[in-house]
Amino acid sequence: SKVIKVAVAGNPNTGKTTLINAIAGTNLHVGNWPGVTIEKKEARFKYRGYEIHLVDLPGTYSLSNDTAEEKIAVDFLIKEKPDVVIDVVDSTNLERNLYLTVQLLELELPLVVALNMWDEAKAKGIEIDYQKLERLLCVKAVPTSAVKNEGVKELLDAVIETYEKKEKPVCVLHFEDQLEEEIRQIIKKIEEIQPVLLDLYPKRYLVLSLIEGNTSFIDIPITEELNRIIQQFRENMQKLYHKDAVTLIVEERYSIIISIYEQVVKKHPVKTVDIT
Ligand code: GDP
Ligand code: MG
Ligand code: K
């Protein structure tokens, strides 16, 4: 049967392990990532005629490459190119969790969002319009409560639907116009100067990483000309926005996140029980 390679990503403490246990049950195999003492969980099982190979990535808040956990996650996502990535988010803390989601979208891999801790969000009066979230992100989003084994089958169905879908999603989460134009120009330059980079790495993630100086995932030397172009970009951005390029990119991601968050999350007052 056909193999679907699935990677499970998410911030620490979002219920990744609980969810994987609920999905994989006794098929779970626990080892270590090569060379480090960070736990690696894997599972293989059959579902709807497919063989699903599932790998649990280390919990990370971002994919900026500066911790051992982030390096493992980025390397795996770029080199192994999983067929589908499940992004496990904590529904009670969507705003913070969406930072990783935005970066996963920059990697241009097929994505499914598991809105985990759905039960806890409900108890806290947090209502998430997950269908609207799906439309804004162009990916499937599935409410799950891993501890209660709820939403697990729906999540796997969304993984298969995403895998079977032929066309790539059309949503791109756009930064501010001028910045987008600059990013397009840098991609054009890379096509001229060092096109092999675009064969090896997803273009948006590549450009943003070059700008941010997170290049440890890049296995070949960057040409001096490309380095100069990136440096020039940083200087232009400094003049234009009066802030450094790294801050600019991070703030642009946050402004996307805040806009999404405000459109999908409503908070209701919670009835408290008076026990005096
Ligand atoms: P990980 O760090 O992402 O692997 O998270 P864990 O699976 O270790 O879960 C962190 C904590 O959240 C544990 O205490 C879990 O029992 C709890 N947890 C996981 N999923 C859910 C859920 O859907 N609802 C609730 N209420 N708690 C959950
Ligand atoms: Mg875990
Ligand atoms: K909890």
Q: Each residue of 173-201: pLDDT tens digit?
A: 899 999 999 999 999 999 999 999 999 99
User: ipTM score of the complex?
Assistant: 0.96
The closest ligand to the CA of 88 turns out to be 1
Taking a C-beta distance cutoff of 8 angstroms, is the pair 119, 146 a contact? no
Which candidate, 127, 114, 104, places its Cα nearest to that of 153? 114
Q: Is residue 10 lining ligand 1, measured as CB closer than 6 Å?
A: yes
Which of 175, 155, 46 lies closest to 105 in space, CA to CA? Answer: 175
34 close to 18: Cβ distance less than 8 angstroms: no
d(C-alpha 248, C-alpha 215), whole Å:
18
Give the tens place of pLDDT for each residue, 225-247.
Answer: 999 999 999 999 999 999 999 99
**Alpha-carbon separation of residue 28 from 16, 18, 203 (angstroms):** 13, 12, 34
Q: Is the CB of 91 under 6 A from ligand 1?
A: no
Kindly state the average pLDDT of the residues 81-103: 97
Give the Cα separation of 197 and 205 in Å (integer): 11
pTM above 0.90, yes or no: yes
The whole-angstrom separation of Cα 245 and Cα 210 is 11
Cβ burial of 201 (10 Å; 0-12, 13-18, 19+) is buried
218 CA to middle of ligand 1, Å?
A: 34
Q: Please count the helices (runs of H) and the strands (runs of E) in the chain.
A: 11, 9
Q: What is the pLDDT of residues 130-180, one digit of tens each?
A: 999 999 999 999 999 999 999 999 999 999 999 999 777 667 789 999 999
Mutate which of 145, 147, 155 for ligand 1? The one with the most ligand atoms within 8 Å of its CB, which is 147
